[in-house]
Amino acid sequence: MQEMKDAVARILNSANKIKNTGDAITAVLNKLIFCPFCDEYYADSSALSEHIISKHASHLTSTAVTVDTHEVCEGAETIYICPHCHFAVDESCTSPTSTMTSHIDSHSISLVPNTKMAFQISNDSKLIDTYINGSVKAEIYLCSVCSSILSSKEALLRHLYLSHSDSNGKNVSADTIKIIEDCVEELPERNAVKRKYGSKYSF
Ligand SMILES: [Zn+2]
Ligand SMILES: [Zn+2]
Ligand SMILES: [Zn+2]
């Protein structure tokens, strides 16, 4: 509890243009880091990573894949990957999306129609290097929120934090809102303004 109060106070002290309690709540919610898999939230990314490792390990499993062929060249920054055989092309391909779509269609014979998936996209430089170096075996980590592919558990944890930890659609407990409101009461700036303008200042 005290830990959360300290974190909220830190966020409020570094935030600009807080004119009322509503602004304060928005500023804090924008900075809090929410678990993509449940309603827990944290003030720093390492706490989120620890939480995911201990509570959602099933979202961090890797798959060993064998890459037979690919068209990924030196300098590639984005690759498009077939989820079935892990064939990949890079962004220099004339039309990576249509190449991948027709490639995936070529699997149809062996795939039940509804198991057909869209291709996946990765910007993970380590995974791209694995392709460029021609390694035939790779461990891949699939993000269960958006299907991005990453090359390590650390990269996946970082991706979950960077891409899927905002407050959109998350439940924030009444206790947290209360903590924010309490911290607003104690904001030094607000108290200074209050001293200057007295009770006319509504916030
Ligand atoms: Zn969680
Ligand atoms: Zn394929
Ligand atoms: Zn994702």
Mean pLDDT of the chain: 83
HSE-CB of 11 using CA atoms within 13 angstroms:
25
The residue written with tokens 């791209």 in the block is 128
Between the CA of 176 and the centroid of ligand 1 the distance, in Å, is 17
pLDDT at 196 over 50: yes
Task: Report H helices in the chain.
Answer: 2-14, 21-31, 45-55, 96-105, 125-132, 153-164, 174-185, 188-197
Between the CA of 105 and the centroid of ligand 2 the distance, in Å, is 9
Q: Give the pLDDT band of residue 201 (cuts 50, 70, 90).
A: very low
Three-state DSSP state, 143: coil
At residue 85, the pLDDT reads: 80
pLDDT at 194 over 70: no
| pLDDT per residue as tens digits for the range 55-85 | 999 999 888 877 778 889 999 999 999 877 8
What's the pTM? 0.68
Average pLDDT score over residue span 180-184: 88
- Which residues have their alpha-adjacent CB atom under 5 A from ion ligand 2? 82, 84-85, 87
At residue 47, the pLDDT reads: 94
* β 88-90/70-71 pair status: parallel
Between the CA of 70 and the centroid of ligand 1 the distance, in Å, is 36
Q: Which tokens hold the place of 137?
A: 């075996």
